[in-house]
């Protein structure tokens, strides 16, 4: 009688696998970004930006100081790394908070969450991969989802002129969000030598810049207790821990896979908004969420069972060509 083979222990995750898993933490945190932003209304966009990133700076600085000199050394990085991180994080959130202040939360959020699809497409380009039919189909589905959201009729989850007179500006800001964050996420691999600990310092710069623009352009609104709770939760989660996790993941993880997994974010975000009564339950919103998620799934799909993505000599993620 043949002895059954002894089951082998599961192989530990590779460095890229661990980094990708850490990226899922950021994806989970961002699912609550739209909900917490709505809870913080009617704070002006740059005031909310400044206060939430001030909380992120304080919480991240506490972790940095606990590590002593080693933690502080993570802030001694080239100016280019600081400028790149600041520009990406500040621009994304400036556009995002502006979008949600001008347009309905569910619609603006779904448009902003086109960035996972753009990550899949851009990471294919940077890995010198050829565009295939699935990439075009995925992009088309994502764009169709955006059209469904924007053109939804009033009373069915759409826009009413009285509620959101500047909704189109909000949609444009949301689209800018998607473009900024996808480019930042893919290009961030070029700064893989810079530790993620420096993101705490970047949060401080974002808070200062947001505060300056707030004082120059907006009236100050004193937050209520409920708004302070939303600000603190934003600073700890979606603009705090999430950025440390995402920075590490985009420098060392599998970008195409991260892009595909990120499409869980708009689904969970939309469900949270509907459950909280901050977005109507309509077929347009459900259809749009389904289209943008399907678009990313189609674009990221690979025929055959190829090898996992690997790091090339240039430090970028190379995606093996699928079996056609």
Pick the closest to residue 195 from 56, 87, 93, 85 (CA basis): 85
pLDDT, tens digit, for every residue of 27-79?
889 889 889 999 998 899 999 999 999 999 998 888 777 777 776 777 888 89
Q: Give yes or no for residue 258 having a pLDDT over 70.
A: yes
- What pLDDT is recorded for position 317? 39
Mean pLDDT, the chain, rounded, equals: 78
Three-state secondary structure string covering 163-193? CCCCHHHHHHHHHHHHHHHHHHHHHHHHHCC
Q: Are 219 and 44 in contact (CB under 8 A)?
A: yes
pLDDT, tens digit, for every residue of 4-17?
555 444 445 557 77
**Does any domain span residue 319?**
no
What pTM was estimated for this model as a whole? Answer: 0.75
**Does any domain span residue 5?**
no
**Does any domain span residue 61?**
yes
Of 52-61, 180-189, 258-267, 304-313, the poorest mean pLDDT is in 304-313
**Does any domain span residue 8?**
no
Q: Quick one: pLDDT band at residue 141, thresholds 50, 70, 90?
A: confident
**Does any domain span residue 270?**
yes
Q: Are 249 and 312 in contact (CB under 8 A)?
A: no
Range of the domain at 68: 16-302
- What pLDDT is recorded for position 4? 53
Instruction: Find where tokens 């919103």 sit.
Output: 285
Give the whole-angstrom CA distance, residue 324 versus residue 322: 6
**Does any domain span residue 316?**
no
Please compute the mean of the pLDDT values over residues 153-171 and round it to a whole number. Answer: 65
Count of domains forming the chain? 1
Pick the closest to residue 211 from 48, 58, 83, 65 (CA basis): 48
- What pLDDT is recorded for position 2? 55
Express as a percent the part of the chain with pLDDT over 70: 79
**Does any domain span residue 2?**
no
**Does any domain span residue 322?**
no
């Amino acid at each position: 009688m043949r002895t059954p083979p002894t089951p082998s222990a599961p192989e530990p995750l590779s460095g890229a696998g661990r980094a990708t898993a850490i990226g899922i933490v950021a994806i989970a945190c961002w699912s609550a970004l739209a909900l917490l932003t709505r809870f913080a209304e009617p704070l002006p966009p740059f005031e909310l930006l400044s206060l939430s990133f001030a909380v992120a700076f304080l919480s991240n600085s506490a972790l940095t100081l606990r590590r002593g000199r080693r933690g502080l050394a993570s802030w001694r990085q080239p100016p280019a790394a600081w400028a790149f991180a600041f520009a990406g994080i500040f621009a994304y959130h400036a556009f995002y908070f502006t979008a949600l202040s001008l347009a309905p939360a569910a619609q603006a959020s779904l448009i902003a969450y086109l960035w996972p699809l753009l990550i899949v497409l851009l990471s294919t380009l940077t890995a010198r991969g050829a565009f295939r039919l699935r990439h075009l189909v995925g992009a088309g589905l994502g764009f169709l989802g955006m059209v469904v959201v924007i053109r939804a009729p009033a009373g069915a989850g759409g826009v009413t002129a009285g509620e959101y007179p500047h909704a189109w500006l909000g949609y444009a800001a949301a689209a800018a969000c998607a473009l900024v964050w996808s480019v930042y996420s893919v290009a961030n691999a070029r700064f893989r030598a810079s530790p993620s600990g420096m993101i705490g310092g970047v949060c401080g710069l974002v808070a200062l810049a947001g505060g300056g623009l707030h004082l120059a352009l907006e009236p100050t609104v004193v937050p209520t207790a409920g708004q302070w709770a939303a600000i603190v939760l934003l600073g700890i989660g979606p603009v705090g821990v999430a950025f440390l996790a995402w920075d590490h993941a985009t420098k060392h993880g599998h970008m195409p896979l991260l892009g595909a997994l990120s499409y869980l974010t708009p689904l969970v975000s939309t469900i949270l908004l509907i459950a909280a009564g901050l977005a109507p339950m309509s077929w347009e919103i459900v259809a749009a969420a389904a289209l943008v998620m399907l678009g990313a799934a189609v674009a990221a799909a690979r025929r055959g069972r190829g090898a996992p993505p690997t790091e090339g000599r240039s430090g970028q993620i190379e995606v093996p060509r699928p079996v056609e």
